[in-house]
Structures are given as structure tokens and as C-alpha cells.
Amino acid sequence: MRKYKNGGQLETVVCNCCGKKVIVSEGIAREGVIRVNHTWDFFSEKDGEIHHFDLCESCYEAMIAEFKIPVEIEEQQEYL
């Protein structure tokens, strides 16, 4: 869950799974966090819904540990 200041700058990030408040400084999350934005479409019972949520790194790791097929991981070549 994210909250923004009036000017659109990121103010708060809270993990939707465990409720942990992620450190945000100067509008930037200073800890590992994954943001999911998904628009459901025709062949879903959620057609027309858009879901947004954030997971801290610990909750993300716990979630993917349950996957039957592991997440594909590749090394980033350049950091911007």
C-alpha cells in the first residue's frame, strides 16, 4: 500500500502481507519492496478490476518459496 504527498512524492509504503512499514526517504523506498499493478481482463472473474499491492522482500521470498516452478532470475548488467 502506498501513500503519496500532495505533490505526488512517495510518502509511505506498507507491505500488504505483513503490515511492515518500509523506510521511505526523499520519496524513494530505501528497502527491498515489490510493487504489483495488475489489470484483470476478459477470461477472469475479476474482469475490469485493477489490483495494486506491495510486498516487502521477506514476504516476497516467502511467497516465491511456495512456487512449484521457481522464479526465473537473471543478473542485471547495468545499474541506472
pLDDT in single tens digits along all 80 residues of the chain: 999 999 999 999 999 999 999 999 999 999 999 999 999 998 899 999 999 999 999 999 999 999 999 999 999 888 76
Average of per-residue pLDDT values in the chain:
94
* Residue whose grid cell is 504527498: 5
- Which pTM value belongs to this model? 0.85
- Asked if 53 and 46 count as a contact pair (C-beta separation under 8 A), the reply is no
Question: Does residue 23 sit in helix, strand or coil?
Answer: coil
The domain limits of the chain are 2-65
Which spans in 2-42 are helix H?
A: none
Distance CA 62, CA 60 (A): 5
- What is the model's pLDDT at position 40? 93
